[in-house]
């Protein structure tokens, strides 16, 4: 399983919190690339509910990772 920013961005609008099956269903319905669906299928499912993409990919960059001042825009 591998994630890139481009792949993970397909899940930004997912209905969080969600189960693995709900995320797979969302990815299919939204037309996400097959790699996203394959990555989700590889998650070990123990009935967990995921609160955000960070629960699936801990290295997902947050707003704090970008160096710009939102007050300037």
Q: What is the pLDDT of residues 28-47, one digit of tens each?
A: 999 999 999 999 999 987 88
Asked if the peptide bond before residue 17 counts as cis, ω within 30 degrees of 0, the response is: yes
The stretch 22-32 carries a mean pLDDT of 96
- State the distance between the two ends of the chain, measured CA to CA, in whole angstroms: 37
Q: Reply yes or no on whether the pLDDT at 19 is more than 90.
A: yes
Q: What whole-number distance in Å separates Cα of residue 52 and Cα of residue 45? A: 16
Domain boundaries, the chain: 14-57
């Amino acid at each position: 399983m591998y994630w890139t920013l481009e792949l993970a961005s397909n899940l930004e609008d997912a209905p969080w919190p969600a189960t693995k099956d709900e995320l797979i269903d969302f990815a299919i319905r939204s037309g996400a690339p097959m790699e996203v669906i394959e990555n989700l299928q590889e998650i070990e499912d123990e009935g967990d509910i995921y609160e955000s993409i960070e629960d699936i990919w801990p290295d997902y960059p947050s707003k704090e990772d970008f160096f710009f001042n939102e007050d300037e825009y």
